[in-house]
Amino acid sequence: MTEMILPFLLSLVEPVAWFIIGTGLAQNGVYFLQLWLAYRYLGRRGYDEAGNTLWRQYADVTPPIALLVPAFNEEETIVESVRSLLALRYASFEVIVVNDGSGDGTLDALVRGFDLAPVRRSWDDALPHKPIRGIYRNPAFPSLLVVDKDNGGKADALNAGINLSRMPLFCAVDADSVLEPDALLRCVEPFVDDPDETVAVGGTIRLANGCVVKDGCVVSVGLPKRILPLLQTMEYLRAFLMGRLAWSELKAVTLISGAFGVFRRNLAVEAGGYSHDTVGEDIEIIVKIHRLMVSRGKPYRIQFVPEPVCWTEAPSSLSVLRRQRIRWQRGALETFFRHRSMLFNPRYGRIGTLGFGHMLLVDVLGPPVEVLGYLFFPLLWWLDMLDTDYLVIFAALACVFGIFISVGSLILEELELRRFPRARDLLVLTGIAIVENLGYRQLNNIWRIEGWWQFLRGTKGNWGAMTRVGFTRG
């Protein structure tokens, strides 16, 4: 028996090794390509200080936007958050807070904070959601509407908000994120430039950890002091500067973060709104919009705005971070397999080849293959089938590639946006680019394997306190 199996196993060693190496090389190749594309995009766009000019010339013609704020157990902070949302710089917008059956006093806090009274309001029953218990407002805050509904999850709350909004665009934001005062103005720019083709716009999200936030505004940008948020700062830079811009450039955006995205209301409705049965409702809706637009056969664009518009607090404990990453991984897999017919399907053009191809490589195959590599090569070495030198070289190469990609993103940030105030911050981030390869990256991949496992077992999701940001690498 053994005589049969052993040669068979041995004959497998080489193909498996090459498969792992090939996948790794393909991933890194994609990252290099993304860096180049992002660089090209930013270079063409140039550094933009046009905030004020924009406001002056286009304030009258900017389309009205409904800000949808799903809230679940946010008693402590909700009033403050809503106050800062109401103070955004934009000609015409309304804030619709959807209390998703919170167990705490979120609704009471809002009613007291803004002196709200129950009202009746007619709404479009375009999307399904759990029953609405009441609608509240105060004539003194004409642009604020608070909706109280039975608990149904974030997607459900957003659907209710879409139904109630009466504006052509909506912007889904998290209750706990901090927006730049001209966030809406910046993100509406693609709609201003090309209202016919633009169907959705995503904004860049950064970490609020380490920044000074005063009265709902980021007044000074800084790096977090603790290691875990610092490591995530690097991930956010990579995800938004390199990943999203590259996809935007290629017209194959597959994700707009749930923390901030502007959509055309009627298209979101036609696409069926947010899906209840996934933890990745933010990827899911973009893919649904892609499908809808492809079926219509008209040109369309999903765009990305490189300037930071939204600041969010990153988890600083390992257990919360682990849950977040498991969730993200599951959401990506759910969407990928639900729409797998789009993969390499010529009907879906770039989104099928590039968008889904990337998901296959980075989200679906990436984590298991990389973890397999962690086990496989040391095993070969232990069996004396691999030179010590080669083992070290493989490890070093994996690290060096990782460092190079991170440094590439830092260069983009520094050349085009320069949001970190001190030269020292750059050095710290360079250090992080090295350190993240020694432990953090591996930990992330293990979490993603957990996500895979949960996906396979079909564990049910609950209300996501976590917002996906979607990193290009674990």
For binding to another protein (CB under 8 A), which residues are involved? 46-47, 52-53, 56-58, 60-63, 83-84, 87, 89, 119-126, 137, 139-140, 181, 191-196, 214-217, 389-390, 393, 396-397, 400-401, 403-404, 407, 410-411, 414, 418, 422-423, 426-427, 430, 433
Element containing residue 198 per DSSP (H, E): strand 198-207
Amino acid identity of 226?
Answer: R
CB 374 to another protein: min, Å: 19
CB 193 to another protein: min, Å: 6
Strands, E, within 291-380: which ranges?
301-312
Bridge partner list, 137: 117
Tokens encoding 452:
């895979």
CB 146 to another protein: min, Å: 14
For another protein, the closer CB: 155 or 405:
405
For another protein, the closer CB: 347 or 424:
424
For another protein, the closer CB: 216 or 461:
216
Torsion angles phi and psi, residue 382, rounded to 5:
-65, -35
Q: Cα–Cα distance between 431 and 105 in angstroms, integer?
A: 43
Bridge partner list, 67: 95, 171
CB 64 to another protein: min, Å: 13
Q: Cα–Cα distance between 42 and 75 in angstroms, integer?
A: 40
Q: How far is residue 355 from each of residues 277, 358, 469, 472, measured CA to CA in Å?
A: 22, 5, 16, 12
For another protein, the closer CB: 15 or 43:
43
For another protein, the closer CB: 228 or 399:
399
CB 154 to another protein: min, Å: 24
Helix axes 366-382 and 2-45, enclosed angle (nearest 10): 130
* 463: Cβ contacts below 8 Å, ≥ 6 apart: 72, 100, 151, 153, 154
For another protein, the closer CB: 427 or 438:
427
Amino acid identity of 6?
Answer: L
Q: How far is residue 412 from each of residues 35, 131, 267, 332, 474, measured CA to CA in Å?
A: 8, 47, 33, 26, 20
Helix (H/G/I), strand (E/B), else coil: 171: strand
Q: How many CA atoms lie within 13 A of 419 on its CB side?
A: 25
CB 449 to another protein: min, Å: 27
- In 3D space, the residue among 469, 144, 34 whose CA is nearest the CA of residue 283 turns out to be 469
For another protein, the closer CB: 15 or 299:
299
CB 259 to another protein: min, Å: 20
For another protein, the closer CB: 150 or 194:
194
* 379: Cβ contacts below 8 Å, ≥ 6 apart: none
- In 3D space, the residue among 9, 146, 12 whose CA is nearest the CA of residue 71 turns out to be 146
CB 80 to another protein: min, Å: 11
Bridge partner list, 302: 200
CB 188 to another protein: min, Å: 9
For another protein, the closer CB: 351 or 398:
398
